[in-house]
A and B are shown apart, each in its own frame.
Chain A
Amino acid sequence: MTARIGVVTFPGSLDDRDTQRAIRLAGAEPVALWHKDKNLHQVDAVVLPGGFSYGDYLRAGAISRFSPVMETVIEQAKAGLPVLGICNGFQILTEAHLLPGGMLGNDHLHFICRDQKLRVENADTAWTVDYEQGQEIHIPLKNMDGRYVADERTLDMLEAEGRVVFRYLDFNPNGSLRDIAGITNEAGNVVGLMPHPEHAVEPLIGTGRTDGLPFFTSILKKLVNA
């Protein structure tokens, strides 16, 4: 038995096909979901991919959060459906209040694309069980609005509850507070991060590393063993 993992395509999604490929390479079945369709077609988990949904002219993720498919995603995520938001997907998750905090423009005001070093701070979420706690990995990062911000109380709470999942190492590429690259919700089923694990799943392609594949094997393991 394998797992069916949905990937939502919003207008302006860019990494939807790449994410489907990563899911396939991990051994799960990718299912294309459409932003206008509320039906999640019985998927076992959902990925919100990177891109510039609806152009992101207003504020990254601000419009997608109101799309028909998100109504169902929000409802089911609260009931435990595993959801991963990558880059624009992370922005959408914060706009949808499934994750706390929000994203501002990079502190240096430029788009940045680089091979980013991260530390796995929480290897217990639905999307990170195949990593070791404290493992250092390299994942491509590319964004314009990647500066994670939240008030001090929220940041303290995230730290105290172990909900910071990834932290930037060596170089903070966008001015994110406390070097936060990714976080999870209280239940650990919803994870958002700015870097792009789907771009690090094959040797030779991109940076040539496969440090992103465990995201997709983690969820598969979680779902199949469940």
Chain B
Amino acid sequence: MSRTPLDTVEHAAATPDVELPWAELGLKKDEYERVVEILGRRPTGAELAMYSVMWSEHCSYKSSKVHLRQFGEKAPESDALLVGIGENAGVVDVGQGYAVTFKVESHNHPSYVEPYQGAATGVGGIVRDIIAMGARPVAVVDPLRMGAADHPDTKRVLPGVVAGIGGYGNCLGLPNIGGEVVFDPCYQGNPLVNAGCIGVMRHEDIHLAKASGAGNKVIMYGARTGGDGIGGASILASETFDDAKPSKRPAVQVGDPFQEKLLIECTLEAFKEKLVVGIQDLGAAGISCATSELASNGSGGMRVILDDVPLRDSTLSPEEILMSESQERMCAVVEPEKVDRFLEICEKWDVIATVIGEVTDGDRLEIFWHGEKIVDVDPRTVAHEGPTYERPYARPSWQDELQADDANKLPRPATSEELKDQVLKLVASPNQASKKWITSQYDHFVQGNTVLAQPEDSGMIRIDEETGLGVAIATDGNGRYAKLDPYTGAQLALAEAYRNVATTGAKPLAVSDCLNFGSPEDPAVMWQFAEAVRGLADGCQQLGTPVTGGNVSLYNQTGEAAIHPTPVVAVLGVIDDVARRTPVAFQEEGQLLYLLGDTREEFGGSAWSQVIHDHLGGLPPQVDLERERLLAEILIAASRDGMIDSAHDLSDGGLIQAVVESALLGNKGARLIVPDGLDAFTFLFSESAGRAIVAVPRSEEVRFNDMCGARGLPATRVGVVDGDSVELQGEFELSLEELRTAHEETIPALLK
């Protein structure tokens, strides 16, 4: 079988009329014409491969970036931010010379196709982003959204995803400390698998993705490049350039956590010896992305000899090598005199490392194959000057009707017996039930610094053994609220994550987000996206917590049916001494339960409306960010000064869900009294935001009350930690045993 001639730059210039498969690679006609205009000729196959992946929605944010700009424009003044949006991950100053980097990303589509590897490589990708900033990864979190809990396909997807996250993360030695699992039929064909990672470094160790200094070497290290994760390139390779090649390459990558663990250790050792000028991980769009980003962020150009890239499959075409998304690879820029030492460290860790090119003093990215130039581009046009779309957006016609379908008007329990039954139903419902079956498949102990892990309100990691300095992270996002009102829904996600961090005693500092939506080509979805971004940007501005980076996942849609708009928000906080952290579990009998904040009749999007009535309508709870900030300040002060021994944020499921969780975790019951001005039902199930329940030792009651009074935060005594049941006075009593069975047996029964 004869091969078609190599499509060199020279060849491309000489053959302007050759038709390229730009449409199959996902480029629009005007986008392709723009590439031709930039280059002043038709692109080579390799160039087309690079532009098509880098200008994809996933890499270029072409539909979302006009909205995402608000995160920068509305960014609050914050002296905590050391590196902002645009790098692999943002970096936050947490004091004592430490910096923390964190980010959340999606791996939704691959995880539906192949749950185990999709989820595993999602962890791998986010961890490499964190290493690429110069940090040692210290923890991961995994927010998941799945289809209906009792749908047969959920039984295929969820256990695979959980095993993949565990299989990869456990093998890397990263404690999994947080995240959520939410079930809703809207995610049936589009489960969301988001993955977050936190890394810690000293200020002086921050590394950036840029290639500067002519003559510096570009070193690729880690796994060999194979044919996995190149759906687009297969089209290019098999249909146009070489009919003899296998045409079906797996589109989902396969992870090797052992290789990644070695990559972490060897990268950190190279950082420690100050051997690295710039660094980039290879994730989406592989070498195309790494070389064009490194070059465009640096001062000069770059020359790459593609033949030197170590391959797993020697039949790969240059286009495939450029687009391969093989995992566990990184690219470092190293000064020539330090190359030997860098390679030595790689060898110590048995990591393959190869010099594949160098930084030049020009401004072109040139890539050679068999001695011939196949790419000659301005790297900025690949990495940063992709198309930008002002997609049309419009408030959907059904929004008014949805909001008019008021959940507050749903029939409520009429008797004590009904109230009790509904409590049991709620705590046993898949969304409110214990996720222990899932989280027990993740290692939370490794590294020996885990202070809090799920089911706590936030995960907390000690970062300094001497001083006790620690960081906390919480991720939240309620798609039901966002469906009812995306602006408010995004702010509620922010408010909840912010509150969850404060509930454990940490001060919220910064935000990362993973914005999961349907198709941007649908004006209704685009409106949801625009509203959610506006809500989140406004909220962050008001709370003083800048967005440091994040990820957008669009096209989470099957046919006409989009997922609920699901902005997942991660808030990072800092605590001076982890010994002062506040856990969820009740600690001691006799402690007084105080409800902080205002409770209103708010049932729109609530867990109660879903579990009891299978209903979604009305308006989500109101947001008052000033109140959230005050509540956070009180929770942090109370934790620091030893005024509370346990605390739990109130969110989905309302007060009763929180009390049951605290009781079961502490193995201590509670006696509750409905406070004046509220009815039992609203007291138990309302999801008003800006609330928490705390357990106050009797000796601290006066001091605690004085503080809340002085600051103007409503604090209402609603009960006491006591006995081995949860009792609502005059209404019902449920034994801890009964509650435990209801709460803990649901998920294993569904998934085993």
Contacts and interface: CB of A to CB of B under 8 A. Distances in A.
Interface of A: 11-12, 14-15, 17-18, 21-22, 50-52, 54-57, 110-114, 140, 142, 144, 196, 198-199, 201-202, 204-207
A205 B462 contact: yes
A51 B578 contact: no
B258 A11 contact: yes
10 contacts: A111-B163, A111-B441, A113-B439, A142-B445, A142-B446, A144-B170, A199-B448, A201-B448, A205-B450, A206-B445
Contacts of B578: 204
B597 to A, nearest CB: 28
Contacts of A114: 440
Interface residues of B, number: 33
A55 B256 contact: yes
A69 to B, nearest CB: 14
A114 B167 CA distance: 16
B163 A110 contact: yes
- 6 A-B pairs with least C-beta separation: A55-B258, A14-B173, A18-B448, A199-B445, A111-B441, A140-B445
Contacts of A15: 173, 446, 448
B448 A205 contact: yes
A21 B448 contact: yes
Given A21-B448, A111-B167, A205-B448, A57 B258 contact: yes
B443 A12 contact: no
Contacts of B555: none
A116 to B, nearest CB: 11
Contacts of A56: 258
Interface-centre pick from A11, A54, A55, A140 (highest chain B CB count, 10 A): A11
Interface string B129-165: 0000000000000000000000000000000000100
Contact of A55 (B171, B439, B441, B581): B171
B481 to A, nearest CB: 32
A15 B443 CA distance: 11
B576 to A, nearest CB: 14
A180 to B, nearest CB: 21
A112 B446 contact: no
A85 to B, nearest CB: 17
Contacts of A206: 444-445, 448, 450
Interface in B485-516: none
Given A55-B258, A111-B170, A114-B440, A11 B350 contact: yes
B580 to A, nearest CB: 10
Contacts of B167: 111
B451 A205 contact: yes
B579 interface: yes
B262 A113 contact: no
Interface-centre pick from B173, B439, B451, B579 (highest chain A CB count, 10 A): B173
Nearest to A207: B445
Contact of B443 (A11, A113, A205): A113
A12 B258 contact: yes
Interface-centre pick from A55, A198, A202, A205 (highest chain B CB count, 10 A): A205
Nearest to A9: B265
A212 to B, nearest CB: 10
B166 interface: yes
A202 B450 CA distance: 11
A196 B462 CA distance: 19
A114 to B, nearest CB: 6
Contacts of A51: 173
Contact of A112 (B257, B440, B450): B440
A67 to B, nearest CB: 12
Given A55-B257, A142-B445, 19 more contacts: A12-B258, A12-B262, A14-B173, A14-B261, A17-B447, A18-B447, A21-B448, A22-B448, A52-B258, A110-B441, A111-B442, A113-B444, A114-B440, A196-B445, A198-B448, A199-B448, A204-B578, A204-B581, A205-B451
A131 B163 CA distance: 36
A112 to B, nearest CB: 6
B56 interface: no
B622 interface: no
A12 B445 CA distance: 16
Interface string B404-447: 00000000000000000000000000000000000111111111
A21 B462 CA distance: 14
Contacts of A12: 171, 258, 261-262
Contacts of A17: 447-448
Nearest to B450: A206
B349 interface: yes
A204 B19 CA distance: 65
A59 B328 CA distance: 22
Given A12-B258, A55-B258, A113-B441, A142 B450 contact: no
Contact of A113 (B171, B445, B581): B445
Interface-centre pick from B440, B448, B450, B451 (highest chain A CB count, 10 A): B448
Nearest to B176: A113
Nearest to A206: B445
B449 interface: yes
Contacts of A14: 171-173, 261, 446
Contacts of A52: 170-171, 257-258, 261
B445 A11 contact: no
A198 B163 CA distance: 25
Contacts of A199: 445-446, 448
A18 B445 CA distance: 10
B446 A18 contact: yes
Contacts of A142: 170, 443, 445-446
A199 B448 CA distance: 6
A204 B448 contact: no
A114 B436 CA distance: 10
Contacts of A204: 451, 578-579, 581
A205 B449 contact: yes
A112 B748 CA distance: 14
Nearest to A201: B448
A62 to B, nearest CB: 14
A40 B428 CA distance: 54
Given A17-B448, A204-B579, A205-B462, A11 B441 contact: no
Interface-centre pick from B171, B350, B443, B449 (highest chain A CB count, 10 A): B443
Nearest to A200: B445
A57 B256 CA distance: 10
B121 to A, nearest CB: 16
A22 to B, nearest CB: 8
B261 A11 contact: yes
Contacts of B443: 111, 113, 142
A18 B444 CA distance: 13
A92 B128 CA distance: 29
Contacts of B261: 11-12, 14, 52
Interface string B579-593: 101000000000000
A52 to B, nearest CB: 5
Contacts of B349: 11
A202 B349 CA distance: 31
B460 to A, nearest CB: 10
A56 B256 CA distance: 11
A142 B449 CA distance: 16
Contact of B166 (A18, A55, A111, A207): A111
A51 B172 CA distance: 9
Contacts of B350: 11
B472 to A, nearest CB: 14
Nearest to B453: A206
Nearest to A141: B445
